[in-house]
Amino acid sequence: MEFYKYQGTGNDFVMIDNRDLQFPKDKEIIAKLCDRRFGIGADGLILLENDDKYDFKMVYYNSDGGESTMCGNGGRCLVAFAFFLDIFEDKCKFIAIDGEHDAEIHNGIIKLKMIDVNSISNEGEDTVMNTGSPHYVKYVEDLVNYNVFAAGTGIRNSENYKEKGINVNFVEKITDDEIFVRTYERGVEDETYSCGTGVTASALTFLQKHNLISVKVKTLGGNLKVYAEKDGNSFHNIWLEGPAKQVFRGKVDLI
């Protein structure tokens, strides 16, 4: 089967054009394709499929082979893939597991509209919200040397979250309009170079604290930007912006 490999700020995905519905949605096959030693290697696998009401449909799987919730960087990469396939010109609307998303592409930079966030809850000094996937946000110091794996594993497998899991983001303020974010992702069960829904969640906590409408976000894999409009304790018109790029393409045996 032909596949494409895309990355968005270091978050990498196997992309498959599944408009003919020929891909076997088998957990073991997907996990093998995402394996970095025995397969192609990726943080997740994304199928692009047809939908009668939208330009295309996004079906996302974590690297463990399980179908998962929304992936922001994966969504941006899928928009770049759909653009490569000539499905749209510069603007599109697609459907994902968390609902519909608008997107734009200009010179390799993709702006993806995220779902509205209607509730943000506090857990001590930390924050929990759903930006298409569930996220826990914790502010720390000296993030570059922080043990994200150990701390992320602890929170993800804590009593409140061990059953369904949660993505854990660690945030450090850089300037008045820029933050640094590192994320431990459930399903991958490790730190990734970037996480779009996690960057969004982290950015919203910063926008809420500082009454801003946009913030720049540094990740291990590159730079992103988040825009949002605040309404009390909720946010709408949320956009995630950043690069997404095709890395390579090839053919792979599924057996």
Binding residues: 11, 62, 72-73, 167, 185-186, 196-197
Widest distance between CA atoms in the chain = 53
DSSP 114-182: PPPB---EEETTEEEEESSSEEEEEE-SSGGG--HHHHHHHHHTSTTTTTT--EEEEEEEEETTEEEEE
Is 71 annotated in the active site? yes
Number of continuous H segments (helices) and E segments (strands) in the chain: 4, 17
Residue 147, C-beta contacts closer than 8 angstroms, at least 6 positions apart: none
What is residue 255's three-state secondary structure?
Answer: coil
Is 92 annotated in the active site? no
Choosing from 34, 71, 77, 92, the catalytic residue is 71
d(CA 10, CA 245): 10
Asked if residue 195 lies in contact with residue 134, where contact means CB atoms within 8 angstroms, the answer is no
Choosing from 34, 77, 92, 195, the catalytic residue is 195
Annotated binding site for substrate: 11, 62, 72-73, 167, 185-186, 196-197
| Catalytic residue positions, numbered | 71, 195
